[in-house]
Each structure stands twice: as structure tokens, then as C-alpha cells.
Amino acid sequence: MYARLIGTGSYLPGNPVTNDDLAARGIDTNDEWIVTRTGIRSRHLAAPGTTSSELGLIAAQRALEMSGVSAADLDLIIVATSTPDFIFPSTACLIQANLGNKGAAAFDVQAVCAGFTYALGIAEKFIRSGSHKRALVIGAEVFSRILDWNDRGTCVLFGDGAGAIVLEASDKPGVLATAMHADGSQNGILNVPGQICGGQVTGDPFLRMDGPSVFKFAVRVLADIAEEVCQIAGIQTTDVDWLIPHQANIRIIEATGKKLGVDRNKVIVTVDRHGNTSAASVPLALDEAVRDGRIQRGQKVLVEGVGGGFTWGAALLEF
């Protein structure tokens, strides 16, 4: 029994917010500064009150439509998010309710920007065990809610959005290999060190990042885990038709591709148009490449993410 990807979907809220738009809002930055350092030209920001479950629902509906699977036929729903609607119930349960599904297992995964690859790997294991047949995997974020808009080193990097896939049990291989890792000793270089206690915010409720340390760590582990999943599948990294790394920073993306020996024309890049959408970034890029025809049946696609924790994960897919 294998797990095979049969549908993708994504959603970006509102109109693009350009770098010049941010500068006009009073942020001490400019288009050249952001593009030179990150490759980001715009991002999407959810309207006040819009939640991760709302973004994830639309992406999920689009993935289900492509797959031809009814929401009622799902028996597993996993949502990767660091910005859930509530402490509980899970964002997955909220999306399940709005889809009209009853009875499927539904839960959230919190691995920050590696969340989608974690969720995909978990869903694949459920399906390969034979216990579940159809899984909906979603990455959904409203990172704009946890940004310090006075910190130009972080607030210009992130955006909101959602992406989703549908996996189905198959006798033909689809997910060829997955891998997940974490190193909790690196928790201090990217975090949101705050919480709710007694009805009050304690600590720091905003995203904080040591950019140089994150860059070095990300490039190393993204290269390592790409080689790991390719080795599991018995291929070379140069045999991959498309590489979809976490869309955080063009420099990280280019450095990872170069280290792996993957031609830059085989690397899917969307960070310029939606910034870093954390767990949503990989499925957003995947959906775009599927819908515009770049990804074709029979091709091998390597997706990978790295995020706070520190966490990192990857999956090798055959379409």
C-alpha cells in the first residue's frame, strides 16, 4: 500500500502588499533593501479577523475539487500551523466542521515552517499502515498576527496564506520517501517566546529571529535532508525533476539548490510573490507548479522545509 498525491489547492488572502506599500505605512524600509536581501517583492496579509482555518478551508476545497474526492470520503485531516484560531479546538477540527466531514481523525501539527512536510510524512505513514485511505493535508498561517511591525528585520519577511494536498491509498508508489528531524537546542534562534497565562500575555508575543544563524542552519539541514530522502528512494539529487524548498529567502533557496547540484531552472520559486508563509509556503508553491503545468505525471518532486524548533523535513514525490 502506498500514498499518492491526487490533488492540490492554495489560497492567498486579499491583494498583494508590495515593499513600497510597507514603506508607505511607516516601516523603515524600501524595496531595494528587501529585494536585495530576501528576493521578496510582495506578500498577502489577511484582513482583521480572518483566521488560519478560513484560509485553510478555501485551499482544502480547491484541493478536493482537483482530486475529485468528496469531503465526506476523507478519513484523516491534518493541519500544519503555528497560528491556530484557538488554543483548542484544533484548526483541523474547525476546517473539518466547515467541510461537513464527520468522523475523520483531525489534528494539528506544530513544526513551524517545516510543518507541512511533517504533516505530509505523518499522513503517508497512516495510509501506508492500511488504517486510512484518504488524507487532507493543509498548511495554513496568519503570521501577520505575530509580527512586530516595528522590527523591519522580521516584519517584511512574512505573509499569510494556505496550501493543501489530498493523498489517497494506491498500489502505485507516489510518496517515495519522507524524513523528519529536530534539534531543540537551537530553539533560541527563531521563536515567539510568549504565552497566555491567567488571561494575560506573558513574555514576548512577537516573532524573534537571529537571521545569520537561521541562514547557516537552514542551508545545511535542507541540503542534508534532501540527500537523505533521495538516498532512501535510491536516486541522486540530480535525478529530481523539481525542487520545492521552503520559500523563506531567495538566498537560502539558491544556496540549497547549488549545494545539491540541482539546476536553478528546476527549482520552484514563489517567495518573491508571497514572502515566507511558514507551513503554507511549500504547498502554495507546489499548487502553483501543478496548475501551471510545470509538474507533469511521472516526474519526481522533492519538497522540504525548515523552521523554528529547530525542525526540518522533506518528502520525495512521484506524480
Residues of 134-150 as b/e, b for ≥16 C-beta within 10 angstroms? bbbbbbbbbbbbbbeee
**Residue 87: other Cβ atoms inside 10 A:** 8
Alpha-carbon span 212 to 292, nearest angstrom: 34
> What is the rounded end-to-end Cα distance, in angstroms, of the chain?
16
Cell of 103: 468522523
Q: Which residue has the cell 515552517?
A: 113
Choose, from 44, 93, 101, 246, the residue flagged as catalytic: 246
**Set 113, 132, 191, 230: catalytic member:** 113
CA dihedral 224, 318, 266, 65 (to 10 degrees): -120
User: CB pairs under 8 A, 24+ apart, for 151-155?
Assistant: 151/206, 152/27, 152/28, 152/29, 153/209, 153/211, 154/207, 154/208, 154/209, 155/22, 155/27
Do 248 and 290 form a contact (C-beta atoms < 8 A)?
Answer: no
Note whether 174 and 315 are within 8 A (CB).
Answer: no
DSSP designation for 158: B
The helix or strand, by DSSP H or E, that contains position 14, with its residue range, turns out to be: none
DSSP assigned state of 131: S
- Annotated catalytic, 230? no
132 as an active site residue: the answer is: no
Active site residues: 113, 246, 276
